[in-house]
Chain A
């Protein structure tokens, strides 16, 4: 005797005042003032509602959130290792499939959301995330991206931008730009090689209604879905804690972060500026980029320009032509060191 597994259908939210009143991410955490990841957690939990299970791989949203006896989760939550969020989420989804099928639990399939940081998503957690996407589990993997290993003291992660100073990429005489490599692109990693995935989107805490609707859309899809959520970190990025939203918005306005949906192979863009601002407008607000020389800023601008021209981005934007920095004579002490 088996029971058919029913899934939930979450309605879109039209305006900010139509948001549900109920909170499922409640006081009890001890994140920093102005924490972007905590704000996105609140929005995600609100959008997902009560029939939800969160998987929390190690990261800021574990260490700073889940203090024994006063965790902020009003829905079931389980710690995962930083390595295995996708695998633990897979096990939870599989368990509910079989428990519902066998009549051992009554109700619609819970939303299973893995809330992983950038390290837990595309660095040490990449294998487990990819396998969850490949196997087709009906669950949502969120990469909340604060662009560093923040709770351990701001070390570089694969999504730390080029030129970002972290405690593992300090600028110095030989390495003036601090971080020399360009970041991984989490949504493209998912889109590129996981045929079971039909919905991938990016979102920013600067656009909360868009973010919540993407959470709901991702949850409504049967099968694995992926959200990449940009979540500024005042402590790690070194900006005043009352500017989190402005920084997040400026990331979108400069093209440092792009907001889009990829649905059944089609790209759709949201909050695309008519004209992108120069990345220097964004970089100058943060202490992590304070050491950058003009040539580093140019290199960053060229990277962003190229990204904005990438497939799925059919936009005409006024951008300076990329320059060949390898061939450039940058002069003494301006980043000619090779490593």
Chain B
């Protein structure tokens, strides 16, 4: 029987891994994600989950162990945070290129220096172009659900791609929220066992990852790109099926909140969307026509869904919780793709960005009010005054 519990995002991720009956887990401690491994270690020690629990000697090893295990056809789970995510960098491309549906939970943490436990999305953004599916959860329930949805999509024979299932450190990973733990029969109906023809099996020998000549490279890169291109279709099927079985319906790629009649839009991903909702409700009471577009997948980037959502409004505030030093807008990384998505829209909205939540700083209701003020002024002026605002560091 399904039951409702109050658990943190990390505990929700561990429960999702258990529900998915993962077979090989590889751990290494780093805050804040490490709580998911503490939960899983207990589940394995108590016999509640039959899995190999391997203590990796670092994040690079974590990804390497699950690479080997996934290549044998085992369902795998690993995770990390902050500099742990970047320490494993070498292994992300081999996993995606080998088309192994490894799953990695990331609970964001600011990169060094200085040492900072706070949530910032830069860690995961560093690895967004490695050929993995990637997206953020707003709260523990969505984190739980995203794990199951991602296994289903990544293990689909049309896809076979690894997945980063991200949640903000502390804001999601350590703050309990209501989570409905489904009945195992629901999970089994939604998520069939992993089947892979390209697995390492002495009964059917194959060579995995041989050397190629440069002239053979482009075709293989295209094959990887095409697999990623198939994700939206497969994800939509999976999310529809998820709604049928579990009764929770997600907008597959971009969740629109009070956008239909809005002039202003907050474009955001992850935990701070919860505060944005509260701010939007408050602003609406004051007569400000504002809504939100919440990004659920960063990879593959939902170009059409972003364009459709944001072309409804006159001005957009992109909330950047990561850095792209020296990038085209001198701010964060979401702007590039938001602007690219809107380039061909007939009635393009004004777009600016706000650096917010960096280093794990809380993004407050007032910060969203500040964004709304700037968007309103931009509409009056017919242009944005600048492309990047650093929240809390500006005179007005």
Contacts and interface: CB of A to CB of B under 8 A. Distances in A.
B88 to A, nearest CB: 10
B227 interface: no
Given A98-B23, A107-B202, A131-B57, A78 B211 contact: no
Interface in A79-110: 79-81, 83-84, 87-92, 94-99, 101-102, 104-105, 107, 110
B201 interface: yes
B56 interface: yes
A91 B54 contact: yes
Contacts of B8: none
Interface string B69-95: 111111010000000000000110010
A63 interface: yes
B57 A128 contact: yes
Contacts of B366: none
B68 A87 contact: yes
B206 interface: yes
Given A101-B50, A107-B202, A92 B71 contact: yes
Contacts of A50: 202
A285 interface: no
A307 interface: no
A51 B201 CA distance: 9
A76 B205 contact: yes
Contacts of B210: 66-69, 71, 79
Contact of B54 (A80, A84, A90): A90
B60 A91 contact: no
Contact of B209 (A69, A78, A91, A131): A78
Contact of A84 (B23, B50, B91, B212): B91
B48 interface: no
B231 interface: no
Given A78-B68, A90-B65, A110 B202 contact: yes
B380 interface: no
A99 B68 CA distance: 13
A95 B67 contact: no
Nearest to B88: A84
A80 B72 contact: no
A52 B202 contact: yes
A79 B209 contact: yes
A77 interface: yes
Contacts of A79: 94, 208-210
Contacts of B201: 76, 105
B207 interface: yes
B94 A131 contact: no
Contacts of A77: 205-208
B128 to A, nearest CB: 21
Interface in A2-17: 2
A81 to B, nearest CB: 6
B302 interface: no
A75 B216 CA distance: 24
B208 A91 contact: no
A334 interface: no
Contacts of B71: 78, 91-92, 95
B200 A90 contact: no
**What size tier do the contact residues of chain A reach?**
35 or more
B50 A66 contact: no
Contact of B200 (A53, A71, A74): A53
A68 B216 contact: yes
Contact of A102 (B23, B205, B216): B23
Contacts of B98: 78
**Which of B56, B67, B91, B206 has the most A CB atoms < 10 Å from its CB?**
B67
Contacts of B216: 68
Contact of B69 (A67, A75, A94, A104): A94
B66 interface: yes
A68 B23 contact: no
A272 interface: no
A84 B61 contact: yes
Nearest to A102: B50
Contact of A78 (B55, B61, B90, B208): B208
Which of B98, B201, B207 counts the most A-chain CB atoms under 10 A from its CB?
Answer: B207
A73 B64 contact: no
B200 A76 contact: yes
B213 interface: yes
A2 B211 CA distance: 39
Nearest to A88: B68
A91 B205 contact: no
A7 to B, nearest CB: 14
B202 A76 contact: yes
B94 A127 contact: no
A35 interface: no
B84 to A, nearest CB: 15
B26 interface: yes
A94 B70 CA distance: 10
A155 interface: no
A130 interface: yes
B260 interface: no
A75 B58 contact: no
Contact of B64 (A91, A98, A107): A91
A323 interface: no
A135 interface: yes
B53 to A, nearest CB: 9
A302 interface: no
Residue among A69, A80, A84, A130 having the largest count of chain B Cβ atoms under 10 Å: A84
A62 interface: yes
A101 to B, nearest CB: 7
Interface of A: 2, 50-53, 55, 62-63, 66-69, 71, 73-81, 83-84, 87-92, 94-99, 101-102, 104-105, 107, 110, 127-128, 130-131, 134-135
14 contacts: A71-B207, A71-B210, A76-B206, A78-B200, A84-B67, A87-B56, A88-B68, A90-B64, A91-B65, A91-B72, A92-B71, A104-B73, A104-B193, A127-B61
The 7 closest A-B pairs by CB, nearest first: A91-B68, A79-B209, A87-B64, A95-B72, A84-B64, A91-B69, A131-B57
Interface of B: 23-24, 26, 50-52, 54-58, 60-61, 64-74, 76, 90-91, 94, 98, 193, 200-203, 205-213, 216
